Amino acid sequence: MTQANDDSVRAVGHPPAGGPVRAPVPTQAGGPPYGGPPPGTHPGNLLPPGPQPGGPPPYSGPPPYYGYYGPQQQPPYGWRPPPVPVAPDGRPLADFGTRLLARLIDAAILAGISMVILVPTMFVVSFSLMPAYTGAEQTYGTGTPVGFDFLEFMLPILLIELGLLVLILAGYYVYYVEMMFRTGQTVGKRLMKIKIVPIQPGVTLTRGMAAKRYAIEFIGGVFVPFFTYLDGLWQLWDKPYLQTLHDKVAKTVVVKVAP
Instruction: Report whether pLDDT(130) > 70.
Output: no
CA gap 250, 180 in Å, rounded: 13
Confidence of residue 221 (pLDDT cuts 50, 70, 90): confident
Confidence of residue 9 (pLDDT cuts 50, 70, 90): very low
Gap between the terminal Cα atoms of the chain: 112
- Top-confidence residue, 84 or 40: 84
pLDDT at 61: 64
> Which helix H or strand E contains 195, and what residues bound it?
strand 194-198
Contact yes or no for 188/109 (Cβ under 8 A): yes
Q: Render pLDDT for 38-72 as a digit per residue (tens, 0 to 9).
A: 555 555 555 555 555 666 666 666 665 544 444 55
**β-bridge mates for residue 139, sequence order:** 145
Does the predicted TM-score (pTM) go above 0.75?
no
Pick from 200, 205, 189, 231: nearest CA to 105? 189
> Which helix H or strand E contains 256, and what residues bound it?
strand 252-256
By mean pLDDT, which of 75-79, 142-146, 172-176 is the weakest?
A: 142-146
SS3 225: coil
* Amino acid making up residue 219: I
**β-bridge mates for residue 138, sequence order:** 146
pLDDT at 74: 55
> Which helix H or strand E contains 138, and what residues bound it?
strand 138-139
